[in-house]
Amino acid sequence: MEKKGMDKLIGKNCKIVTKEPGDDSSHVVFAQVALIDHNAGFIIIESERGTGCLNINTIEAIKPNPKKR
């Protein structure tokens, strides 16, 4: 995904689908995107479970979600 397109998601609630290498199934996370570090390749998220970090290369899909969870 383009840097410009991903930067628009900062501060928005999103549905993020990730798939780790070696896993058969995907994982869905509902969270707010706090920060995107393009150089390191990470996205910092804030969800009900707390603050987390996702690798950009493991993200299969990301979609803004208008509902707050």
Residue type for position 47: S
CB 34 within 8 A of CB 44: yes
- Quote the domain boundaries for residue 7: 3-64
CB 13 within 8 A of CB 42: no
Give the pLDDT confidence of 7-65 residue by residue, as tens digits.
899 999 999 999 999 989 999 999 999 999 999 999 999 999 999 999 999 999 999 98
Residue type for position 63: K
Predicted confidence band of residue 5 (pLDDT cuts 50, 70, 90): confident
Q: What is the pTM of this model?
A: 0.83
- End-to-end CA gap in the chain: 25
Task: Give domain status of residue 32, yes or no.
Answer: yes
Give the pLDDT confidence of 16-25 residue by residue, as tens digits.
999 999 989 9
Task: Give domain status of residue 42, yes or no.
Answer: yes
CATH number, residue 34: 2.30.30.520
Task: Give domain status of residue 69, yes or no.
Answer: no
